[in-house]
Structure formats: C-alpha cells, structure tokens
Amino acid sequence: MATIQDELEIRAPAKPPGMLSKLLALRHSWVAVVGATLVLFWVVVALIAPFAAPFDPNAQDFMALANPRPGGEHLLGTDMLGRDLLSRVMWGARTVLVVAPIAVVVAYLIGCTMGLLAGYFGGWVDTVFSRLADIVLSFPVIILYLIIIANFGASAFNIVLAVTFTATPQIMRIVRGLTLDIKNREYVTAAQIRGESALYIMAVEILPNARGPLIVDACLRMGYTIIAIGVLGFLGLGLPPPDPDWGGMVKDTYGLMSVYPHMALIPAAAISSLVIGFNLLADGIRELALKD
C-alpha cells in the first residue's frame, strides 16, 4: 500500500534527454538540417567578418563608381557610394545577429515572467496582465515600431526596446496558456503538497515542461524580429548610417533597382535566407517533437 511519503514523491516526468542529444536528433529531419545550416552559415559569417571581410564596410572606392557591378576585386559589386557590398553584408550580419537575439531574449524574460504569474496565480494578476497585453496587441505592430523609434531615435538599443515592447504580450499569452494547462498536472500538485514555494514551482516544475512550444516559438520569433529590423532599416528607422544594416542597404539602393539590381537584391537575399533558416529550424523542431 502506498504511503503518504510515496505520494509526496510524485515528480515531473522522467528527465528528458540533454541538450546535446536534442541537437543530435535534429539530423533526422532534413528540414531542421537545412534550417540549421542556413543559420549556422550566417553566424559564422558574422563571427569572421572582422577578419574575412575584404574591405572596411564604410570605405569608398571612387574608381568603382564607374562600374559598380559584381566582378574584379569587388566580388558582389559596390553600392552607389563605392562601398564593397560583400563587406557590408558580412558586417550587417553581425548587426542582425546581435540585435535580434538580444531583443528576443529580453522579450522572453519579461513575457515568461508575466505569463507564469498570470497563469499560476490567476485572479487580479491574470486580469491586469491580460488587459495590458490586449491593449498593446490592439495596435498594429508597425505603428508601435514607428511611434517608439520616432520618439526615442534610431539606435540598436531603441530597436531592442521596440521589439521587446511588441513581442512581450504575445509571449505572455503563450506562456499563460501553457501554465494554465501544466499547473493542474500531478507533479505540480505534489510540489504544492510538499510545501514548495510558488517561485520554485513556476521555475522548476512548470517552465521546463513548457519549453517545447517555447523553443519553436523562439525560432519563429527570431525570423519575425529579423524582418522587423529589416523593415525599420528600409523605412530609415534602423541603425544610423554609415553602420551596415541590411534593411538600410535595400533602402539606399532601391531607386537603382532597374539599373543595378544587385545593390538591393543581395542584402534582400541575406534577410530572406536567414529568416527562412530560422523558420525551417522551427518546423524541424516541431516535426521531431510530434514524433516523440
């Protein structure tokens, strides 16, 4: 016969495979492999940019203005100011892969905290956080970007602030829904009976068991954030010049599309490939999760 002590030993499901095992499992999904390859490619490009970029991204080659098309010492050509496109694309990758992850991580820290509190405690806490989220979500995202950047100025910090402000309510609602489901599980009830604190239950019992959907959402949200950074740059609200910014590179050369299409198509292709990489990685992770 089970004793009270036995009942109190109810815990969460068996410990899942470690991070290394999860990463190795991705090789069984060609979608995940392609996505991870694209993302890894741009990560490597961003890391080696200071050493491998053939030119300073802001250096002007006035001789190349006569023929800015790809070829010669400028493999991808130059922009309308004679700046090497390959170098600017490589340095632009550093911008995107620093600003976007920081924005997503900050949004997740705030969103997960709000979602856990709202879902676990309910009552007025849930009402306040849910109403705040509804207010933010009632505005078009691009309008919020424009309001924040226009008022605080264009900078990497303000881009992070804008993305965090718009993404946090979405993440909060996802985490809240997962918390409402998980908090009724046996291992959570057992932790409550053992007298564990609410902080312990949320951080140790609930959040780790909600990580699957959150990892998929984080990959997708990275893609959304990269697009948002590109849109802000295209609207002239990205990083201030002359810093390389993929969206800003498209904006600066958009008017020359009919004459020198490579100036806009190359940075646009960089944005698209990185976003596709994160989306495919998310699809691959979801596919593997459904097989488990």
Give 39's contacts (C-beta < 8 A, 6+ positions apart): 274, 277, 278, 281
- pLDDT score recorded for residue 5: 46
- Report the distance separating Cα 186 and Cα 182, nearest Å: 9
**pTM for the full predicted model:** 0.84
pLDDT digits (tens, 9 = 90+) for 162-208: 889 999 999 999 999 999 999 888 888 888 888 888 899 898 889 88
pLDDT digits (tens, 9 = 90+) for 43-56: 999 999 999 888 88
Burial class (CB in 10 A: 0-12, 13-18, 19+), 127: exposed
- pLDDT score recorded for residue 46: 93
Q: Point out the residues of the chain with pLDDT beneath 70.
A: 1-28, 289-292
- pLDDT score recorded for residue 26: 62
Which amino acid is residue 165, in one-letter code?
F
Find where tokens 């312990």 sit.
200
- pLDDT score recorded for residue 21: 55
Give 142's contacts (C-beta < 8 A, 6+ positions apart): 231
- Report the distance separating Cα 117 and Cα 175, nearest Å: 10
| Alpha-carbon dihedral angle through residues 219, 222, 224, 225, given to the nearest 10 degrees | 170
- pLDDT score recorded for residue 291: 63
The gap from C-alpha 192 to its chain's centroid, in whole angstroms, comes to 34
All domains of the chain, ordered by start, with CATH? 27-48+78-291 (1.10.3720.10)
- Report the distance separating Cα 213 and Cα 174, nearest Å: 9
Answer whether 240's CB lies under 8 Å from 155's CB.
Answer: yes
What is the CB neighbour count within 10 angstroms for residue 235? 16
Find where tokens 């965090």 sit.
164
Helices (H), 13-122: 19-25, 30-52, 85-121
Give 270's contacts (C-beta < 8 A, 6+ positions apart): 42, 89, 92, 93, 246
Six token digits for residue 254: 């958009």
